[in-house]
A and B are shown apart, each in its own frame.
Chain A
Amino acid sequence: MKIDVKHVADLARLKLSEDEMRRLEKDLESILLRMERLKALDVEGVEPTFGAGDVQRLVLDQDRPAPGLPREEVLKLAPSSEGPYVSVPREGTPGDAPQGSE
């Protein structure tokens, strides 16, 4: 089992040194090798289990607003803030990309 450690580290946003990269590659490959055993089991038609417990239906809460955290507390937690906002370094290549989620 070969694993593209660099790609996975990019997905997870982890900065790893060459050494760490090599070490994780070795570890993950030996773990995945062990897991090859799972392929021997026939799971055709078996429903997956994604959660334990006896709650089978999503619990729905009433739409009644309740107070949250005071802004001062939220901003105090943040490593940096400006005025009423949490602040973070900008994206790397300024000018070509607008900000915003997908």
Chain B
Amino acid sequence: MEIWELGAKNIREQVLRKEISAQEVLDSFLARTAEVEPKIHAYIELIEPQARLDAARVDALIMRGEDPGPLAGLPVALKDNLNLKGVQCTCASRILEGYISPYDATAVKKLRKAGAVFTGKTNCDEFAMGSSTENSAFGVTRNPWDLQRVPGGSSGGSAAAVAAGMAPLSLGSDTGGSIRQPASFTGVCGLKPTYGRVSRYGLVAFGSSLDQIGPFGNSVWDCALALEAIAGEDPRDGTTSKRPVPRYTEGLKRPVKGLVAGVPREMMELVTDPGVRREFERALKIISDLGVTVVETSLPTTEYCLDVYYIIAPSEASSNLARFDGVRYGRRAKARDLDEMYYETRGQGFGIEVQRRIMLGTFALSAGYYDAYYLRAARIRTLVRRDFDKAFAAHDVLLSPTAPMVAFKIGERVDDPLAMYAADVLTVPVNLAGIPALSVPCGFSRPDESGPELPCGLQIMGKPYDEETVLALGYAFEEACSDWFVPKTAAMRKSLSSQEECEVVVRDTI
């Protein structure tokens, strides 16, 4: 077995026991990346020289008998909307092409301190706006399970990198499902923490009241390890919670027997793929067998969540993205005067989906429409939160499929915004409520008779700041599935090696 196949937990332990070095770990992942990246295009930029320095530093610490930190040389891929000092931060947008960040995001700083080795910046939908990673100025990322399909989005590069074995861990950001949905599409674990659990400082803002950074991993344990490293109060982000950070890895084995799990009926009504429904129901059976009481429950506002989300997120985005004006950084279009510079820079620099959302948000905040759109959505958001409060008064966790469908084909939905937005219908309520949710692989569906099996995810939603229960249930569920899930992933990875390289497809509207 190659090092890259070992999983974060084993790698870390072997590094700490000095059986392998951080540099050997990195070499293994870089070799794997060289092999499969030409097929997947998970990265916008690989930063091998820096990564080698990071790994050497970790090894030096271990040699000196010092604590290298809990991540002990684990390679981590970063979504390209996270600031890493000295490295390009493009958000997959032309407007930031060549922009070298002069500072580290807090989560990045914390990971480095924990001993992580950064491998590069991963592809995503431009400014995290999308559900397929097709809206990238630098080409489409492909799903390792089927190269003709999308990896989900917006954090598709981070999800695909972990799924394909190019990195044991990665970070993404989740505004309306951008971690969980690609985790579901690529068969990995992805966690969106409670709003305020992880600092947003250094995450390029999309929807500021919704955004959270979170990890992707091959297992729940891996996600718990990463969350432990990045969570906590940050004086640079006034929305981070003061609550102490639990040792998430140590809480994984807490008993799940006796927990009460609710399945919101309104969410189930939105599941379109019968395979997804079938696998989810099978997952419920496994969870019941773990001693969890599974009951049906109700979140009456579910059907409005997507609309509320597509008012609030674009409104905030229209303001957050106004700073990309060509004045102080990023690309500036040639222009004779100031106004032309603004119009041309933003007209040429942003892709169509980003422009669509800026337009939608600008409209929702504009004079005469604010009350009917933004303010109304903010009020309904209160109703959504109340629904969740009520549900959590009677249940420890809520369960649903992560996405109503499995990975769709590249190009299938990208020109139909409403069809694309529908991919988020089960994940956006979580962001509106600010609660934590984990996507863990729960089965496979085969939408095309002749095509390959595609993974689907189970979404476990928890009470605010109760990541521990969410992770514990995810862990127990994963243990119960590992005998059939892990071999399938291994087989997928193996077959990936024999696939042909794929051309980089850049959509012309980007």
**Which residues of A come within 8 Å of B, CB atoms?**
3, 5, 8-9, 11-16, 20, 23-24, 27-28, 30-32, 34-35, 37-39, 41, 43, 46-55, 58-59, 61, 69, 73-74, 77-80, 86, 88-92
Question: Which residues 326-385 of B have a CB within 8 angstroms of A?
Answer: 326-332, 335-344, 346-348, 350, 352, 355-356, 358-360, 362-363, 366, 372-373, 375-383, 385
Can you identify 23 A-B contacts, CB atoms within 8 angstroms? A5-B359, A8-B363, A12-B322, A12-B362, A13-B325, A15-B346, A31-B310, A31-B417, A46-B380, A48-B379, A49-B385, A54-B243, A54-B465, A55-B196, A61-B235, A73-B102, A77-B100, A78-B327, A79-B326, A79-B331, A88-B341, A89-B336, A90-B338
Q: A16-B347, A28-B359, A38-B308 are in contact. Are A51 and B239 (CB under 8 A)?
A: yes
- Nearest CB in chain B: distance from A50 CB, A: 6
For B298-312 the 0/1 string (1 means CB < 8 A from A) is 000101100110110
Assess whether A27 is in contact with B339, with CB atoms less than 8 Å apart: no
Query: Hey, which chain B residues are within 8 Å of A77, CB to CB?
Result: 99-100, 102, 328-329
Assess whether B362 is in contact with A11, with CB atoms less than 8 Å apart: yes
In chain B, what residue has the closest Cβ to A94? B337
Q: Pick the most buried of B235, B335, B363: most chain A CB atoms within 10 A of its CB.
A: B363
Query: Hey, which chain B residues are within 8 Å of A12, CB to CB?
Result: 318, 322, 346, 358-359, 362
Query: Hey, which chain B residues are within 8 Å of A73, CB to CB?
Result: 102
Assess whether A89 is in contact with B335, with CB atoms less than 8 Å apart: yes
Assess whether A54 is in contact with B235, with CB atoms less than 8 Å apart: no
Assess whether B241 is in contact with A13, with CB atoms less than 8 Å apart: no
A3 to B356, CA, bound (A): 13
Query: Hey, which chain B residues are within 8 Å of A43, CB to CB?
Result: 376, 379-380, 383
- Nearest CB in chain A: distance from B245 CB, A: 14
Q: A20-B352, A49-B378, A52-B210 are in contact. Are A89 and B383 (CB under 8 A)?
A: no
A64 to B332, CA, bound (A): 35
Q: Pick the most buried of A16, A28, A37, A52: most chain B CB atoms within 10 A of its CB.
A: A52
Assess whether A16 is in contact with B381, with CB atoms less than 8 Å apart: no
Number of A-B contacts (CB under 8 A): 172
A54 to B399, CA, bound (A): 23
**Which residues of B come within 8 Å of A, CB atoms?**
99-100, 102-103, 194-196, 209-210, 235, 238-243, 301, 303-304, 307-308, 310-311, 318, 322, 325-332, 335-344, 346-348, 350, 352, 355-356, 358-360, 362-363, 366, 372-373, 375-383, 385, 417-418, 431-434, 464-465
Assess whether B338 is in contact with A88, with CB atoms less than 8 Å apart: yes
In chain A, what residue has the closest Cβ to B336? A89
Assess whether A38 is in contact with B195, with CB atoms less than 8 Å apart: no
Q: A30-B418, A52-B196 are in contact. Are A89 and B360 (CB under 8 A)?
A: no
In chain A, what residue has the closest Cβ to B318? A12
List the 8 shortest-distance A-B pairs measured between CB atoms, nearest first: A52-B434, A15-B347, A53-B196, A48-B378, A52-B195, A79-B332, A15-B343, A43-B379
A11 to B458, CA, bound (A): 41
Assess whether B235 is in contact with A89, with CB atoms less than 8 Å apart: no
Query: Hey, which chain B residues are within 8 Å of A89, CB to CB?
Result: 335-338, 340-341
Assess whether A14 is in contact with B341, with CB atoms less than 8 Å apart: no
A18 to B210, CA, bound (A): 33
Contact of A91 among B239, B337, B355 (CB under 8 A): B337
Assess whether A27 is in contact with B417, with CB atoms less than 8 Å apart: yes
Q: A3-B363, A80-B332, A89-B338 are in contact. Are A14 and B196 (CB under 8 A)?
A: no
- Nearest CB in chain A: distance from B291 CB, A: 30
Contact of B346 among A14, A27, A79 (CB under 8 A): A14
Query: Hey, which chain A residues are within 8 Å of B100, CB to CB?
Result: 77
- Nearest CB in chain B: distance from A75 CB, A: 10
In chain B, what residue has the closest Cβ to A41? B380
Assess whether A8 is in contact with B362, with CB atoms less than 8 Å apart: yes
Query: Hey, which chain A residues are within 8 Å of B326, CB to CB?
Result: 79, 88
